[in-house]
Amino acid sequence: MRYQGKVSNWKDDQGFGFVTPRGGGDRAFVHIKAFTGRVRRPVDGDLITYAIERDSKNRTTAKNIQFVGDGTAAIPSKATSFGSTLALGFCVLLVATVLMGKMPPVAIGLYLSASFITFVAYALDKSAAKKNRRRIKESTLHLFSIIGGWPGALLAQKLLRHKSKKEEFQSVFWGTVAINCVGFCWLLTKSGSAFLASLLA
């Protein structure tokens, strides 16, 4: 017999959580290895279908787990559109400021390099998550975003479907985007330009 329920108390770094059946009842233990045909990591609130069995400790455990509507869950369309528009607009602004001489050409290279490194970091972290290996710290991913890698992070979240539904991570991530954009705008001011000139000198 299969049940349907909602994932709760999911600990992504440890790969386990619980599921509460729809309509109420005892919750069951959920482990990442019990997901069949896994295409992404579960998050709190995901609806899943599952079978039940007892483990060696006589705990109720969910097995043969599948996402409800598997393959359709990703970044919400509005968030995807906003992120893509923001990244594209920023890239246009970056190129424009370089062409107008308000930013040194090296700025483009720095953002491209930071974005590439960030994308690779996301890819490695997702691979580690699938194989239950040591993960890259979220603070490290956020640091990459702050120093200019956030366009690459957005691309990774969209293409790899990684870290795109974890609300706590997303809140901090958009904070890093704001910090970087504010810093970029400050560099366009008189004091910021003087600081950048002295730094490059």
Q: Helix 77-99 crosses helix 150-160 at what angle (to 10 degrees)? A: 150
Positions in the chain whose pLDDT score sits under 70: 38-39, 69-80
In the chain, where the domains are located: 3-67, 77-200
Residue 165's CB: how many other CB atoms inside 10 A? Answer: 21
| Residue 38 pLDDT | 67
Distance CA 9, CA 199 (A): 46
Predicted TM-score (pTM) above 0.75: no
Three-state secondary-structure class, residue 196? helix
The DSSP annotation for 111-131 comes to: HHHHHHHHHHHHHHHHHHHHT
Looking at this protein, which amino acid is placed at residue 19? V
Residue 39's pLDDT is 66
**DSSP states of 140-187 as a string?**
HHHHHIIIIIHHHHHHHHHHH--SSS-HHHHHHHHHHHHHHHHHHHHH
Write down the pLDDT at residue 151: 96
- CATH fold of 3-67 reads OB fold (Dihydrolipoamide Acetyltransferase, E2P) (2.40.50)
Query: What per-residue confidence (pLDDT) applies to 95?
Result: 96
Q: How far, in Å, CA of 143 to CA of 157, rounded?
A: 16
Q: 79 Cβ partners below 8 Å, 6+ apart?
A: none
Return the structure tokens found at 90: 């920023």
